[in-house]
Structure 1
Amino acid sequence: MSSSACAGALEDGIAKFQAKQYSQANDILSPLADNGDMKAAKYIAFMYREGLGVEKDLLKACDYFEQASTENDGESIVYLGMCYLDGGGRRADIQKAYQLLREGSENGYYDALSLQASVAFQIGDYPSAFGYYVAAAKEGDMEAMLMIGAMYRDGLFVTQDYKRACEWFVKALPSKIPAVLHNYGDCLYFGLDRPVDKKGAYPYFKEAAHLGSEKAKSAAEAIYKELYETKD
């Protein structure tokens, strides 16, 4: 095929993918990917990763992501890193995953900042984790806000500072993440950055418990008994 014909086929294949006509997209894009087209390879990788128009196959997905990553496509590099992270399609290797996630962001793919932070945190690279969490928080990622608060609370890389910790938990409250509600409840119950307010803390533990947190459920039950049940 001529270069112009290939470009036309690629555009058509991508259009079919975006229209969720995955089988047709696969018919068009697979030959292009197998002939070395890196952009086609990325779309085929996503189809195999999610089982879109093809049988789900993580090994093939990772192979295509690896092919697409050779042109420094940040998104493909990040997804290749995820192959190593969860052991799907590659042997699990958290250090390799972390290397690829960092490389992906350096090549312009920033949507995985929170994931990078999480991996950095797991391997004990707290300075990098904190930096990634801050970058993700600037983009509105409330799980990142939760983790920044936790790092201030526990003094991981940063100086322990309960006031800042609780401020970050407050910022993340709209997410309704159970751990955020529980941690903010701790701020009130223990008076980490303000006077103790056990009654004020109870609704946060109760809501976190309602959202499925067993730890918060135990805390809520204990606080209820402390505050409201008649004592002998």
Structure 2
Amino acid sequence: MNPCAKLRYFLPLLALGLLAGCSDAPPPMQTVRDHYFYGGLAAFHEDMHPEAARQWQRAAELGDGEAARNLGHLYRQGLGVEADGHIAAAWYQVAADAGVISAEYNLGMLYMKGGTGLPADPAEGLKRLGQAAAAGFIPAKAELDRLAAPPPPAAAVAAAEPPPSAAEPPAAEPAPLRMQIGSYRTKAAAEQDWKRLRLKTLRPEVVANTVEGQGRWYRLVAVGPPEAVEAFCGSAQAKGMSCWSRNRRNPVAK
């Protein structure tokens, strides 16, 4: 090989090595995974569910745990793919193995209720919920507490209801909750996603965060009344979006 040919061969490798060594640049494979993950997210927001499934499957095959969890949502609900409880459980398992704690909770709920072609398995469901609760996922602990609590007798419920009184002091205003909606590579992307969501009862916060090995990310956080936060989280998770409030989990990011 002549010297010029050698230079053409090694120059791209040298440039790639320099890029990987830069503290602000994510690893090349992370960039590829992000490409497919956010492509799937954009397709999902446009109700292009088959394309979202295709993009997320590619990201999951490259090791993206959050993409695997989102695929589990699609197969559980039959969005863009044929509903299949077994495949949903398999993708949730991939996500859980990748360290996505919420996927362990999703597995627990799937086994508790069953899915398309997947019979309910309460014993396995309780096991998975227990693992998620032990890892600090608050919805899992709340579900275990709910399942463990005996239903109160009807008479006790009636007796516990206090009679209305004009002398009762006004209820204290509930403290606002902080809900993380997602993580983004740029502040502009986070602000653009907030405009798209149009959450009039909540106010946004964009928090810069440096992730080791991945550079700077920007977390989009919504702040507002607990009922507004919980309502949005419920609707977001039903659509397969990542969402958590501070009374649920501390870090589906997107």
When normalised by structure 2's length, the TM-score is 0.46
Q: Is the helix fraction higher in 1 or 2?
A: 1
Q: Which has the higher contact order (CA 8 A, sep 6+)?
A: 2
Q: Is the strand fraction higher in 1 or 2?
A: 2
When normalised by structure 1's length, the TM-score is 0.50
